[in-house]
Amino acid sequence: MSVLLGTVVVVTVLGLVLALVLYLVAQRFKVEEDPRIDEVEKAMPGANCGGCGFAGCRAFAESAVKAPNLDSHFCPVGGNETMGKVAAILGYQLKEKAPMVAVVRCNGSCEARPRVNEYDGYASCYVKSLLYTGDTACSYGCLGCGDCVEACQFGALSMDPATGLPVVDEAKCTACGACVKACPKHVIELRPKGPRGMRVFVSCLNKDKGPVARKACANACIGCGICERTCTHAAIKVDSNVAYIDPALCKLCRECEALCPTGAIHGVNFPKPLDKEGVKERIKARTAKKEVKDE
Partner 1 sequence: MGGVHPHDMKISRDCALEQLPVSPTVYLGVAQHIGAPSVPCVAVGDKVKVGQVIAQPGGAVGAFIHSSVSGTVKSIASRPDLAGRCTTHIEIAVEGDEWLEGIDTSDTLLTTIPEDPKAIVEKIRLGGVVGLGGATFPTHVKLSPPPGSKCERIIINGCECEPYLTSDFRVLLEKSEQVVVGAALLQKAMGGVPCTIAIEENKPEAIDSIREAVSKLGYAQIEVMEMKMMYPQGGEKQLIDAVMHRQVGSGALPISVGAVVQNVGTALAVYEAVQKNKPLIDNSVTVTGAGLPRQANLLVRVGTPLQDILDYMGGIPEGTAKIISGGPMMGRAVANLQAATVKGTGALLLLSEEQTRRAPETSCIRCGKCADACPMGLEPFLLNKLSKTKDWEACEANAAQDCIECGCCLYSCPAHIPLLDNIRVGKGFVLSAIRARAATKK
Q: How far is the CB of 117 from partner 1 (least distance, A)?
A: 5
* CB 75 to partner 1: min, Å: 22
Whether 131 contacts 152, CB under 8 Å: no
Number of residues that bind partner 1 (CB under 8 A): 19
Least Å from the CB of residue 132 to partner 1: 4
Please tell me the distance from the alpha carbon of residue 273 to that of residue 291, in angstroms, as a whole number: 30
CA separation for the pair 104, 190 (Å, rounded): 9
Among residues 212 and 268, whose Cβ is nearest to partner 1?
212
277 is a site residue for partner 1 (CB under 8 A): no
Closer residue to partner 1 (CB): 147 or 255: 147
Residue 143 Cβ vs partner 1, minimum distance, rounded to whole Å: 12
Calculate the CA dihedral of residues 27, 29, 30, 31 and round it to 10 degrees: 180
Q: Under the criterion CB under 8 A, does residue 158 sit at the interface with partner 1?
A: no
Find the binding residues for partner 1 in span 88-127 (CB under 8 A): 116-117, 120-122, 124, 126-127
Instruction: Work out whether strand 242-245 and strand 236-239 pair parallel, antiparallel, or are unpaired.
Output: antiparallel
Q: Which of 137, 145, 148, 183 binds partner 1 (CB under 8 A)?
A: 137
CA–chain centroid gap for 161, Å, is 22
Decide whether 13 or 131 has the Cβ nearer to partner 1.
131
CB pairs under 8 A, 24+ apart, for 113-120? 113/137, 113/138, 113/141, 113/216, 113/217, 113/218, 113/219
- Options 131, 162, 249, 285; binder of partner 1; rule CB under 8 A: 131
Please tell me the total number of residues recorded for the chain in this structure: 295
Residue 274 near residue 258 (C-beta atoms within 8 A)? yes
CB 72 within 8 A of CB 92: no
DSSP, res 268: E
Query: Which is closer to partner 1, CB of 174 or CB of 241?
Result: 241
Collapsed DSSP state (helix, strand, coil) of residue 189: strand
Q: How far is the CB of 197 from partner 1 (least distance, A)?
A: 32
CA triple 281-287-291, angle to 5 deg: 140
257 binds partner 1 (CB under 8 A): no
Q: Which is nearer to partner 1, 135 or 257 (CB)?
A: 135
Which residues within the stretch 19-78 sit at the binding site for partner 1 (CB under 8 A)? none
Comparing CB distances to partner 1, the nearer of 64 and 188 is 188
Pick the closer one to partner 1 by CB: 32 or 120: 120
* Binding-site ranges for partner 1 (CB under 8 A): 116-117, 120-122, 124, 126-127, 130-135, 137, 139, 208-209, 212
